[in-house]
């Protein structure tokens, strides 16, 4: 179909891109590109990378398939996490990346033991539970107590001191399903702060409705918060149907009494590791555009969507660049981070990968020009948040031209402080971007045994790779300063 | 909207029912009803029951909610099954049923113990498994072996004798999703016959891909078949994602080696029980129209859709009749059967409820005029299979008039030999009907921990009750002979 015809039709704004680009490209890139650059214009190359990814580049799916099949769960500090890192480094070398190496750092690992939960009154029923990450074990005979149900963390906080003596506190707050995962932030406070609040009121254990949006017999684990260098009481997530069941028993006027056991332990002297791989830049090789995702996973699933796909997306995007006949001006660095899942400030159980990278590369961070992470599954990217410095201007317009055709719109707000992989970089002043993934179904699966390869939608995975590859090329093969605050809009 | 107008429109065939009924009812019922019956015409009453159920009669949902909440799983022979039966009998009395009583029968119960499965090579990974019902325990140290994968039971059967010595045989055949659940019958042969075929070839254990249509980390248990009064080897279902994982490992050229443990046991001297409740008939009270469903459930879930909803549907349908100001001619009998899940011919572990009922009521069976069971979840009924004797005639036309408006069409074939609850009645010559439920999603959940109340769709549950109540009234408040073979169609 010819463009002039299309311009009369419904699809004019999008289908007319080739024409518009032919007019605008030289104008746009006059602002950022040296006049006599021998390689193709960055936006044109970025478009080629995008289209190659969409056509079904196999690197991403093969990566996440092999990673999850060969190693299964990869808990922080485990042999499995280490073996996966060694495999990743070997594979990245084979893919032709530069500067491939592993950087280890010490941690204390948390190891799930056998565990069980059951209702003992008013009738005997098994419960599907999972100890929260870093939760201490119960005594060998378990803990047993009547359950006191709170509809929210706020209700638990409002309970008087010692009112839960000998009881098991339970928070049944529901997570709200949203496209951007915002419901997680609201609900997860019960997981991070519940154990402390329960313990302060005398409870012998803490339980919560899983922070998740599904209705399956899957308990969503996740880390909880330390108080004085320990998690104060054994703490567990209940599957959502089990939380419903306890609420219904209470609604019948009966008091649920529960027995909980966890044989969790801590492994001191363990280590985790980050895997680094570069596509080395040309004229600005010391400047780094950093792509992060994490290699470790929770122990119940195989870490397919959290975060095997994230590692697959950033590796596949960088591999597309690596296979071009020329290099970008700046270095593109893939950092596959270890020990992300236990990331929290001042954890007594050792460091996490994002922090370890920032600490060991501190002197280089002033030349880290831009960073982002992929850690919200592999469903399609619907928006891109740029650093505030470039949120309005030619760079933003170029990203719009590249990404709107694949459904990626400008985000409502500039990128903020990032996740655990790049958050420490942001604190050190590195500008962040955020490729916002559709998280509508992510928290159905997140941190459960159900995080397995079959949940990956290959077409959406490819769309992620396309968006990352196009955007990263645009940023890396440029001189754009992402760090300098933007002038106020006129 | 007036009928004459409607007759000109698209909806004429359905919206014109009131008019058509006013003309046809007296004609239709002249065939089956005594001329001077003081109660309303059966078809009119049946329509009232249907509409009352659709309007949201609360009995069914309350029943399944309380049953599953108060008692959780109800394995055959367990205290939980017995307590649930006692509760059901008390509730049926409170609802005003006649002749409410419990009939016990002896069984040997199978009791799941602790159990675990793990990949031990080429890497250590946990597996989600469930021992098959009646499977013997492993030795205390478990069994371990290299896995030999067969794509189908036929492939296993084709393997030479002793070719599996010391190995673990695994069948990975996939179940096909169908509206009528026909895929189950095709796939379940691997579960019933796999252990025997594996043992005959020297295998130390048997595993199969779950007979289920989901992709969750849930193993679908279910009973397997005895050979010489025992299940020959420890036998397990793997969740579908775990079966995928072992297939992918094999596809990488590696041999999966697996460790399995089950502490299952048998409990001799146990008993199960059927719960009986009647709406006593008037002029033909000795004639019984029997509605069955089963009270026991597998132990992993709470038996909500298998078969809490079945019991709820038949109880609620009968309760609607009980609350009418008049009684049907024939007796409507609800039989809530125990120990259905281990039903199989000549099981050495004792009887099952359908058999026990048929045996203890043998002399009455000639006057059991019709029987059906509800045991395929609670999604909507899409067709009704009548006994062949009445598949073509006025009774069939009356059911069409009653049920087409709620989406229930005539089934393609007459009702056949029924499930485990009413199958023994069919063998004794009792005519069967089948209310065919939409089983499209049933086998996502069937026999897993996920069989919980949240899976019940209340609107579809109400539609089931409406169809049962209307049809059963039509059959019970009539003189129709369902037993005499129909004359050949001219």
Q: What is the pLDDT of residue A411?
A: 95
Chain A residues whose C-beta is within 8 A of a chain B C-beta are 65-66, 69-73, 79-80, 83, 119, 122-126, 128, 215-218, 240-241, 244-245, 248-249, 252, 299-302, 448-450, 452-455
**Contact status, residue A108 vs residue A348, Cβ threshold 8 Å:** yes
Total of domains in chain B: 2
Backbone angles phi, psi at B349, to 5 degrees: -95, 20
Instruction: List the pLDDT tens digit at each of the 490 positions of chain B.
Output: 333 333 233 333 333 444 444 444 444 444 454 545 466 899 999 999 999 999 987 999 999 999 999 999 999 999 999 999 999 999 999 999 999 999 999 999 999 999 999 999 999 999 999 999 999 999 999 999 999 999 999 999 999 999 999 999 999 999 999 999 999 988 999 999 999 999 999 999 999 999 999 999 999 999 988 777 778 899 999 999 999 999 999 999 999 999 999 999 999 899 999 999 999 999 999 999 999 999 999 999 999 999 999 999 999 999 999 999 999 999 999 999 999 988 765 555 567 999 999 999 999 999 999 999 999 999 999 999 999 999 989 999 999 999 999 999 999 988 877 788 899 999 999 999 999 999 999 999 999 999 999 999 999 999 999 999 999 999 999 999 999 876 655 4
Q: What is the pTM of this model?
A: 0.90
Domain interval for residue B257: 113-263
Determine the 3-state secondary structure of B104 from DSSP: strand
Using one digit for the tens of pLDDT, what is the confidence trace for A38-87? Answer: 668 999 999 999 999 999 879 999 999 999 999 999 999 999 999 999 99
In a domain, B489, yes or no: no
Distance from the Cα of A274 to chain B's closest Cα (Å) equals: 21
CB contact under 8 A, B70 and A122: yes
- Whether B204 and B82 share a structural domain: no
- Alpha helix segments (H runs only) across A181-301: 182-187, 189-200, 240-251
Q: Are residues A437 and A461 in the same domain?
A: yes
Domain boundary among A218, A247, A263: A263
Going by pLDDT thresholds of 50, 70 and 90, the confidence category of residue A195 is very high
With H, G, I as helix, E, B as strand and everything else as coil, classify residue A378: coil
Give which of B243, B316, B331, B231 is closest to B279, Cα–Cα: B331
User: Is A238 inside a domain boundary?
Assistant: yes
> Quick one: pLDDT at residue A351?
75
Nearest to A208 by CA among A165, A159, A255, A155: A155
Rounded to the nearest 5 degrees, what angle is found at the Cα of B416, between the Cα atoms of B411 and B417? Answer: 150
Pick the last residue of a domain from A226, A242, A263: A263
B interface with A, Cβ–Cβ below 8 Å: 65-66, 69-73, 79-80, 83, 119, 122-126, 128, 215-218, 240-241, 244-245, 248-249, 252, 299-302, 448-450, 452-455
- Distance of alpha carbon A471 from its chain centroid, rounded? 19
| A342 in Cβ contact with A221 (< 8 Å) | no
Task: Test A72 with B125 for CB contact under 8 angstroms.
Answer: yes
Closest CA to A308 of A95, A60, A57: A60
Does residue B104 belong to any structural domain of this protein? yes
A213: domain CATH number is 3.50.30.30
Same-domain check for residues A385 and A431: yes
Output the DSSP codes for B192-226. Answer: HHHHHHHHHTT-SEEEEE-SSS--SS-----B---
pLDDT of residue A419: 84
Instruction: Tell me if A489 is assigned to some domain.
Output: no
Is residue B205 a contact partner of residue B233, using CB atoms and an 8 Å limit?
Answer: yes
Chain B residues close to A240, C-beta within 8 Å:
454
Share of chain A above pLDDT 70, in %: 89
For residue A73, the chain B residues in CB contact (below 8 A) are: 125-126
Tens of pLDDT, residues A80-134? 999 999 999 999 999 999 999 999 999 999 999 999 999 999 999 999 999 999 9
B12 inside domain: no
**B384 shares a domain with B434:** yes
Say yes or no: ipTM exceeds 0.90.
no
Same domain as A78, residue A118: no
* Helix ranges restricted to H, B228-335: 240-251, 309-322
In this model, does residue A28 exceed pLDDT 80? no
Residue A196 has pLDDT above 90, yes or no: yes
A196/B71 Cα distance (integer angstroms): 33
- Cβ proximity of A260 and A102 under 8 Å: no
Does residue B485 lie within any of the structural domains?
Answer: no
- CA B228, CA A265: separation in Å to the nearest integer? 46
Looking at the structure, do residues B285 and B353 belong to the same domain, yes or no? yes
Q: Is residue B398 part of a domain?
A: yes
Residue B178 and residue B64 share a domain: no
One domain, residues A201 and A329: no
Residue A23 located in a structural domain? no
Whether residue A310 sits in one domain with residue A346: yes
DSSP label of A391: S
Give B81 or A37, the one with higher predicted confidence: B81
- Do both B256 and B351 map to the same domain? no
The pLDDT value recorded for residue B231 is 82
Residues A68 and A118 grouped into a single domain: no
**What confidence score (pLDDT) does residue B225 get?**
82
CATH number of the domain residue A347 falls in: 3.40.630.10
Listed range (A22-26, A388-392, A403-407, A458-462) with the worst mean pLDDT: A22-26
Residues A302-344: tens digit of each pLDDT = 999 999 999 999 999 999 999 999 999 999 999 999 999 887 6
B123 in the same domain as B94: no
B435: Cβ–Cβ under 8 A, 6 or more apart, which residues?
B372, B374, B381, B384, B408, B464, B467, B468, B471
**How many angstroms separate the CA atoms of B407 and B400, rounded?**
10
What tokens were used for B281? 């008939």
Domain boundary among the residues A210, A236, A263 is at A263
Distance CA B105, CA A422 (A): 65
* pLDDT at A10 > cutoff 60: no
What pLDDT shows up at residue B228? 75
Q: How close B390 gets to chain A, by Cα (Å)?
A: 43
């Amino acid at each position: 179909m010819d463009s002039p015809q299309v311009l009369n039709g419904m699809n004019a704004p999008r289908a007319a891109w080739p024409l518009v680009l032919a007019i605008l490209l030289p104008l746009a890139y006059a602002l950022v590109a040296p006049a006599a650059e021998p390689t193709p214009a960055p936006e044109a190359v970025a478009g080629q990378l995008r289209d190659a990814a969409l056509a079904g580049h196999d690197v991403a799916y093969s990566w996440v398939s092999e990673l999850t099949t060969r190693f299964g769960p990869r808990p922080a500090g485990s042999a499995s996490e280490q073996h996966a890192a060694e495999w990743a480094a070997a594979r990245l070398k084979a893919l032709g990346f530069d500067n491939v190496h592993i950087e280890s750092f010490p941690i204390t690992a948390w190891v799930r033991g056998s565990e069980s939960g059951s209702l003992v009154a008013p009738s005997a029923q098994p419960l599907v539970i999972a100890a929260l990450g870093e939760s201490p074990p119960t005594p060998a005979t378990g803990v047993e107590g009547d359950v006191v149900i709170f509809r929210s963390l706020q209700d638990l906080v409002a309970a008087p001191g010692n009112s839960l003596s000998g009881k098991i506190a339970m928070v049944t707050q529901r997570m709200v399903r949203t496209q951007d995962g915002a419901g997680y932030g609201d609900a997860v406070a019960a997981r991070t702060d519940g154990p402390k609040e329960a313990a302060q009121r005398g409870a012998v254990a803490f339980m919560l409705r899983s922070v998740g949006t599904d209705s399956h017999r899957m308990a969503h684990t996740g880390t909880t918060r330390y108080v004085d260098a320990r998690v104060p009481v054994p703490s567990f997530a209940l599957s959502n149907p089990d939380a419903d069941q306890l609420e219904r028993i209470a609604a019948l006027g009966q008091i649920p009494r529960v027995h909980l056991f966890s044989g969790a332990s801590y492994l001191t002297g363990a280590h985790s590791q980050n895997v680094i791989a570069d596509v080395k830049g040309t004229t600005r090789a010391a400047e780094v555009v950093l792509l992060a995702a994490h290699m470790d996973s929770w122990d119940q699933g195989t870490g397919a969507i959290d975060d095997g796909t994230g590692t697959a997306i950033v590796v596949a995007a960088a591999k597309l660049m690596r296979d071009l006949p020329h290099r970008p001006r700046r270095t593109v660095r893939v950092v596959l981070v270890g020990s992300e899942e236990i990331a929290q400030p001042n954890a007594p159980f050792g460091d996490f990968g994002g922090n370890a990278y920032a600490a060991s590369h501190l002197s280089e961070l002033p030349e880290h020009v831009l960073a982002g992470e992929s850690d919200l599954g592999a469903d399609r990217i619907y928006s891109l948040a740029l650093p505030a410095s470039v949120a309005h201007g030619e760079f933003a317009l170029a990203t719009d031209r590249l990404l709107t055709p694949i459904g990626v719109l400008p985000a409502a707000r500039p990128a903020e402080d990032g996740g655990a992989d790049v958050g420490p970089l942001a604190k050190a002043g590195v500008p962040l971007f955020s490729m916002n993934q559709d998280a509508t179904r992510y928290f159905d699966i997140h941190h459960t045994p159900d995080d397995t390869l079959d949940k990956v939608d290959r077409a959406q995975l490819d769309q992620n790779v396309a968006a990352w590859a196009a955007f990263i090329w645009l940023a890396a093969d440029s001189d754009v300063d992402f760090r300098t605050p933007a002038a106020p809009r006129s």
